[in-house]
Amino acid sequence: MLLQGDRATASWQGTTATLEAPALLWLPGNIDAVIEVSAGANGLLISMDDDLLIKIVAGSAEALDLRRATDRFALIESESLIAQLETIASSCRSIESELRNPGHGGATLISSHILMLCLHLWRLGTPRESQPESAARGGGVALVGNFLQMVELHYRDGWTVARYAAMLGVTSDKLHAHCQREKGSGPRAIIHERLVREACARLEQLDLPVEQIGYGLGFRDPAYFNRFFRKYRGASPGLYRRQIRLEHARSGPSYAAWP
């Protein structure tokens, strides 16, 4: 929420805050909030699905920092916000305008402005350099949590375990030890499991050729995609798709999605 005039009150999880314009309030998707604005208040309110947010920030060089920034509560009321107020408001208005009057490339335009909002939120938050890197990483639980988040952002990009470790500021051995302790699997197995899970979902839901699905998951060699998938599912992608569809046909129509 961007408050540009007057005041508002926000309540969430037993906490109440009074916002005096100008103010920027960001609440992660897992927090339910009630916002009350005073008569004559002027501002903009945007909500978005977390899956969409992940997809939008995934391609940026600052993906991990942006996810950290958007995963936590933020209330910004400072002179630094005043300097960026019109730029942030402009992005919000552009999103609203495109939603009301969609045009060619609308999804890309909206995604671009959402990414800009995330970048402003990150910049206006606590500067990264003011926190020791070890504090940003946290302990084993925090490290593995950041790793899993990074996997969600980059599992299609073919990153090696060493690259993940380098981005997290630890050695590959340390990352492996913590993943093994917290998840019972090494980082390589976690990455592969995420790839296989996505491959299964796409094979079940999309009518694209197997080669195209593999390419969309970062496999440039169709034969390698076949070998990779067979290793974890015991069947080629094509055979897996046929088996799943045969099972669905035998089970008959599902009414689970009916209202």
Q: How open is the CA angle 184-185-189, to the nearest 5 degrees?
A: 160
Average pLDDT over residues 52-62: 77
202 close to 208: Cβ distance less than 8 angstroms: yes
pTM above 0.75, yes or no: no
Interior/surface letters 76-86, b for 16+ CB within 10 angstroms, e for the rest: bbeeebeeebe
What is the model's pLDDT at position 212? 93
In the chain the domains, ranked by start, together with CATH numbers, are 2-130 (2.60.120), 137-250 (1.10.10.60)
Of 57, 92, 87, 83, the residue nearest 71 (C-alpha): 57
Say yes or no to pLDDT of 181 above 80. Answer: yes
pLDDT on residue 192: 95
At residue 127, the pLDDT reads: 47
| Mean pLDDT on 3-19 | 74
Please state, rounded to an integer, the average pLDDT across all residues of the chain: 82
Find out whether 25 and 10 touch, Cβ atoms under 8 Å.
Answer: yes
